[in-house]
């Protein structure tokens, strides 16, 4: 059964790497474990696409087309990130920023983190979902503070406290859910199984579910980074090591949003109103607008792209909030595109900052002279994330905006303004980084840019051509989300 492999490999990897320490080839082993995970995930995806949804282990694990594609995506990005982190971390060590002990911590908790996210994605039990989300948080807290600089400690602390509190609220929501469920399903394990709940969602007590959803939304929403719960996100992204920033904004946010969606489906079923949808649209729109205006004032490149993650998460939340086949489809598509593109950008940014020795954008200039491939990688990645065709981010934005214009015209002025401001801010800052003259010397070593262009290539392809099975997959998922 692939599912056990998928969960087992990373956890085993975590333990193994913790024991193995840094006695040579740890990065390679890390990459190997991720590769194994990726293969298992691919196998699982193939099976799901062939055979449809799947309940495993007395219904403790439930894999439908919605989460299996997130599983595949997670495994893929995890693998490429591992590839990227191999040279990156080596150089960090050469720069004396990291010790062997910390690298050991990094590698093992990286695997654990991936494992936790996969668990969160595949579990069928809302309780376990909560547990694994908390686990993922804990695994990354120490990664954020890996450099032990005051700034990184502060970021990690805020990350821990804010997300911890958020998660706690989510737990309360889960309890309320269970409280409502056990009256229908009776006490015991089954009452938290999502499939069971989904079966009886019409009978669940609306008032309780309302409260539950509020707690779940605020709880998991904190991890999604919805304004005004987002405050931890820019700090954590800017201060942690770049590979961590990549997986945080590329994967963790998706997983959290996936949790929100799971509960939304239940609440919609129970209430029969679109209260949940409206709430999500409100949060999404707020996030998009606020993030766009905050991007404008950034000087630190990683911080800027962290805010852009908030913006895109807001856009996705907005899309899911709108509901309907097209919007949900667009939301899923945007999730994928954002993960791929944003992680690619962080890879490129990582090398750029490493070379310049700073994250201040004013000190990074003329990458195209010092290393053309890196420069073009960053430029194309930025253009992609800004939603310029033919890159796939545009495909989803196209669907989202047109649907919004048709279904909720009132929201479009905000979207128009926010997208415009975000475009002006990000592009106006990235352009001089890539183009123009520079004082920096050429890059001494060859950066690992294969992941960057792999991701961008995928994004480009998906912008022009979405393979039918992938489309079918998206469509099923969109249908599951109440399309």
Footprint of another protein on residues 153-172 (CB under 8 A)? 153-158, 160-162, 164-166, 168-169, 171-172
Peptide bond into 228 cis (omega under 30): yes
CB of 331 to another protein, least distance (A): 14
- DSSP label at 191? G
CB of 199 to another protein, least distance (A): 18
| Residue of 399, 433, 449, 452 that binds another protein (CB under 8 A) | 399
Contact 462, 474 (CB under 8 A): no
Tell whether residue 195 is a contact of another protein (CB under 8 A). no
C-beta atoms surrounding 172 within 10 Å: 16
CB of 296 to another protein, least distance (A): 4
Nearest CB to another protein, comparing residues 32 and 55: 55
| Cα gap 112→117, rounded to integer Å | 9
Tell whether residue 210 is a contact of another protein (CB under 8 A). yes
Interface with another protein (CB under 8 A), residue total: 115
CB of 284 to another protein, least distance (A): 14
Which range of residues in 82-90, 195-203, 346-354, 416-424 is near another protein by CB under 8 A? 416-424
Tell whether residue 360 is a contact of another protein (CB under 8 A). no
Q: Provide the 3-class DSSP secondary structure of residue 63.
A: strand
| Residue of 217, 257, 258, 285 that binds another protein (CB under 8 A) | 217
Tell whether residue 468 is a contact of another protein (CB under 8 A). yes
Cα Rg, the chain, nearest whole Å: 21
| Residue of 244, 294, 349, 477 that binds another protein (CB under 8 A) | 294
Nearest CB to another protein, comparing residues 118 and 229: 229
Tell whether residue 383 is a contact of another protein (CB under 8 A). yes
CB of 462 to another protein, least distance (A): 10
Tell whether residue 280 is a contact of another protein (CB under 8 A). no
C-beta atoms surrounding 271 within 10 Å: 18
Footprint of another protein on 91-150 (CB under 8 A): 125, 127-128, 130-131, 134-135, 138, 141-142, 145, 148-150
Tell whether residue 464 is a contact of another protein (CB under 8 A). yes
Nearest CB to another protein, comparing residues 26 and 419: 419
Nearest CB to another protein, comparing residues 192 and 251: 192
Q: How far apart are the first and last CA of the chain?
A: 30
| Cα gap 141→252, rounded to integer Å | 13
Which range of residues in 49-57, 82-90, 352-360, 386-394 is near another protein by CB under 8 A? 386-394
| Residue of 56, 87, 427, 448 that binds another protein (CB under 8 A) | 427
Tell whether residue 322 is a contact of another protein (CB under 8 A). no
Contact 264, 323 (CB under 8 A): no
CB of 115 to another protein, least distance (A): 14
Tell whether residue 363 is a contact of another protein (CB under 8 A). no
Query: DSSP states of 98-154 as a string?
Result: --HHHHHHHHHHHHHHHHHHHHHHHB-BHHHHHHHHHHHHHHHHHHHTTT--HHHHH
Return contacts of 288-291, CB within 8 angstroms, 24+ apart: 288/314, 288/315, 288/318, 288/414, 288/415, 288/418, 289/414, 289/417, 289/418, 290/227, 290/228, 291/227, 291/230, 291/418, 291/422
Task: Give Cβ neighbours of residue 472 (< 8 Å, ≥ 6 apart).
Answer: 49
Query: DSSP states of 308-374 as a string?
Result: HHHHHHHHHHHHHHH-SHHHHHHHHHHHHHHHHHHHHHHHHHHHHHHHHT--BGGG---HHHH-HHH
Tell whether residue 398 is a contact of another protein (CB under 8 A). yes
Which range of residues in 3-11, 93-101, 445-453, 468-476 is near another protein by CB under 8 A? 468-476
Phi-psi region of 63 (alpha: psi -120 to 50; beta: other; left: phi over 0): beta
CB of 428 to another protein, least distance (A): 6
| Residue of 41, 63, 290, 319 that binds another protein (CB under 8 A) | 290
Write down the residue that tokens 């129970």 correspond to. 270
| Residue of 11, 43, 55, 175 that binds another protein (CB under 8 A) | 175
Nearest CB to another protein, comparing residues 55 and 142: 142
Which range of residues in 29-37, 94-102, 344-352, 397-405 is near another protein by CB under 8 A? 397-405
Residue 120, exposed/middle/buried by CB under 10 A (0-12, 13-18, 19+)?
A: buried
């Amino acid at each position: 059964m692939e599912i056990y492999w998928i969960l087992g490999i990373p956890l085993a990897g975590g333990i193994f790497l913790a024991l193995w320490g840094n006695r040579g080839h740890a990065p390679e082993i890390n990459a190997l474990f991720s590769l194994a995970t990726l293969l298992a995930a691919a196998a699982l995806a193939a099976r799901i696409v062939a055979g449809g949804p799947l309940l495993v282990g007395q219904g403790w694990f439930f894999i439908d087309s919605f989460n299996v594609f997130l599983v595949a995506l997670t495994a893929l990005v995890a693998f490429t990130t591992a590839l990227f982190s191999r040279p990156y971390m080596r150089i960090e060590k050469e720069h004396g920023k990291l010790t062997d002990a910390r690298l050991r911590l990094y590698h093992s908790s990286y695997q654990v983190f991936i494992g936790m996210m996969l668990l969160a994605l595949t579990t069928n039990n809302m309780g376990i979902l909560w547990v694994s989300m908390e686990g993922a948080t804990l695994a990354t807290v120490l990664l954020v503070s890996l450099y032990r600089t005051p700034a990184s400690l502060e970021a990690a602390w805020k990350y821990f406290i804010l997300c911890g509190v958020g998660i706690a609220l989510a737990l309360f929501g889960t309890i309320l859910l269970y409280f409502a469920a056990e009256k229908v399903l009776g006490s015991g394990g089954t009452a938290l199984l999502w499939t069971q709940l989904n079966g009886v969602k019409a009978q669940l007590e609306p008032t309780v579910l309302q409260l539950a959803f509020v707690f779940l939304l605020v709880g998991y929403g904190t991890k999604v980074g919805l304004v005004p719960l987002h405050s931890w996100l820019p700090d954590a992204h800017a201060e942690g090591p770049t590979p961590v920033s990549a997986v945080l904004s590329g994967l963790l946010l998706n997983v959290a949003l996936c949790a929100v969606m799971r509960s939304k489906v239940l609440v919609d079923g129970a209430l029969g109103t679109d209260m949940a949808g409206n709430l999500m649209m409100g949060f999404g729109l707020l996030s998009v607008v606020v993030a766009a205006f905050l991007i404008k004032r950034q000087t630190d490149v990683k911080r800027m792209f962290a805010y852009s993650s908030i913006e895109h998460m807001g856009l996705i939340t907005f899309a899911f909030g709108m509901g309907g086949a097209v919007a949900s489809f667009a939301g899923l598509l945007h999730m994928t595109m954002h993960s791929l593109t944003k992680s690619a950008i962080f890879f490129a940014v990582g090398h750029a900052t490493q070379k310049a020795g700073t994250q201040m954008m004013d000190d990074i200039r003329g990458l195209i002279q010092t290393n053309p491939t890196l420069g073009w990688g960053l430029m194309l990645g930025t253009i992609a994330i800004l939603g310029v065709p033919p890159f796939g981010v545009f495909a989803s934005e196209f669907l989202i905006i047109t649907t919004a214009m048709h279904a909720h015209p009132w929201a479009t002025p905000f979207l128009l303004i926010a997208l415009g401001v975000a475009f002006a801010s990000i592009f106006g800052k990235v352009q001089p980084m890539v183009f123009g003259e520079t004082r920096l010397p050429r890059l001494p070593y060859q950066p690992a840019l294969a992941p960057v262009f792999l991701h961008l290539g995928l994004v480009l392809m998906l912008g022009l051509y979405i393979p039918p099975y992938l489309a079918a997959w998206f469509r099923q998922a969109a249908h599951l989300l109440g399309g």
